[in-house]
Structure 1
Amino acid sequence: MSQVYKVDAQTSAADIALAVDAAISAVKAGGLAVIPTDTSYAVICDAFNNGAITKLRMAKKQNSDIALPIAAGSIETIRGVAKFSTIANDLASALWPGPLTLLTVAQDSLSWNIGQAGSALAVRVPHHEVAQAVLAGVGPTVMTGAQSMGQAAVQTVEQAQAALSDFVDVYLDGGPLSARISTVIDATTDHVRMVRSGELSLAQIRAVLPSVIDASAS
């Protein structure tokens, strides 16, 4: 049976801390947690636990060949799993925490089962206090939308529950979210491209990197 914890603006700091600890414990035990982020609700699991990753894919009705993104509570943690070019580092330093997903390259020493996407690894640090607290407690984490494969991003915990049901051990309810998506930037080469438009506009990206190519419509 899943547990649901309130973590909205009306929830006390003590109760939020208990909820965060419950989510951290669930993930460390190989389970799944749903957390609010700066865009929509996300489901997370330990990035190095193959059983947890399999469970997450089952919950989302997702094939094993689809690459899973990685999130963390800080840039420093992301640097431990991803190789950052100077350009990627500049973007991350300026726009993280925030609704920006960077496509980078995984560190050579890593062994995990997050799927194949060529040499690209999608990484993100969300700008949400509860999400950051949970992610800081578990380290590098698979973080993907809390909805079935192919469905729209979810705005409420109730929508996440309808999609993922008791596959998820802990749900953190932060109230209604925007259900927008992060902007995706491919920084795997020197020719940096915006491959998906989202919460961050092209103008905001170009304020940091004027040379970024808009490939979001292609």
Structure 2
Amino acid sequence: MDLDSRRIKLGLQMKNNVVLPATEAYVDEAIKAIKEGKVIAVPTDTLYGFACDACSTGAVNRIYEIKGRKQASPLAICVGDVSDIERFAVADHLPHGLLDNLLPGPVTVVLRRGESSLLEKALNPGLDSIGIRVPDSSFIRGIACGSRSALALTSANLSGQSSSVCIRDFEDLWEHCAYVYDGGLLPSGRAGSTVVDLTAQGKYQILRPGSALKETIDILHRYSLEEIQSLLEKAGA
């Protein structure tokens, strides 16, 4: 029995949801679930994550319930292409080509939402910024493109626990997802994405080192952005 067949068999044995391979053949099914306001588990280019329609208040609340996470903790969003970012955040202050060099990849860029953002006000209430991902993963990007929305995205684990690099890491939470998409063991080493704040013109601040710190800083310096003292440096001062 091949790997896909074993995964499908495992899924059929489950009572409340299905484990499926994270391949192009299953993108449409994932899109349908997202449009119906459901939560799915998907691999990214760093970790496994829970995803839902970022413009559905009910779905976003469901993610918080699954993770046991306080709603004061912000969620990031995932879009299908770099060109989609301007639908949800302000990026016209950035040097031309910067985002295209950072993304797709294991980087979360934090930008201001702006008044024209399509995001629901219920997503991260009280915050005027949003973390945005364009993962180097055709599967999740295909879902985001097909949903014609942004995906709310957070790590597939209970709040405060270790991040997941394979679906077995969050097996206890499968029952809360419409589908769990298996992309195998991810190589990130649980580091997650590098998070960089780009809200200030001509400046950047590293909020989390993540798995692509050096590459990210090299690109930012290439575009002559100046670093604001990081939160980690401030804590150690």
TM-score by shorter chain over 0.5:
yes
Query: What is the CA–CA distance in structure 2 between the aligned matches of 1:49 and 1:76, rounded to whole Å?
Result: 22
User: Structure 1 residue 198: deviation in Å?
Assistant: 1.1
Q: Which residue of 2 aligns with 1:119?
A: 128
Query: Which ranges of structure 2 fall in alignment gaps of 5 or more residues?
Result: 1-15
Q: Give the C-alpha shift of residue 161 in structure 1.
A: 2.7
> Which of 173, 179, 189 is the equivalent residue of 1:170?
179
Higher relative contact order (CA 8 A, sep 6+): 1
The answer for the alignment partner of 1:153 in structure 2 is 163
* Cα distance change on mapping 1:53 and 1:93 into 2, 3 Å: same
2:196 aligned partner:
185
1:30-179 aligned within 5 A: 30-87=37-94, 90-109=97-116, 110=118, 111-116=120-125, 118-138=127-147, 139-162=149-172, 164-177=173-186, 178=188, 179=190
Displacement of 1:148: 0.8
Q: 2:133 and 2:95 mapped to 1: Cα distance?
A: 12
Higher radius of gyration, 1 or 2:
2
**Is residue 2:220 matched to residue 1:209?**
yes
Distance in structure 2 (CA, Å) of the matches to 1:50 and 1:176: 31
Q: Residues 107-155 of structure 1, C-alpha deviation per residue, up to 9 Å, x if partnerless?
A: 3134331124632211110001212111211121101101111112101
CA distance in 2, matches of 1:199, 1:89: 24
Name the SS for the 1:217 alignment partner. helix
Structure 1 unpaired stretches of 5+: 8-15
Taking only aligned residues, the RMSD between alpha carbons, in angstroms, comes to 1.8
State the identity as a percent.
Answer: 26
Among candidates 206, 210, 214, match of residue 194 of structure 1 = 206
Structure 1 contact 61–148 (Cα < 8 Å) conserved: yes
Partners of 2:209 and 2:125 in 1: CA distance? 22
* Residue number in structure 1 paired with 2:18: 3
What is the TM-score of this pair, normalised by structure 1?
0.88
TM-score by length of 2: 0.81
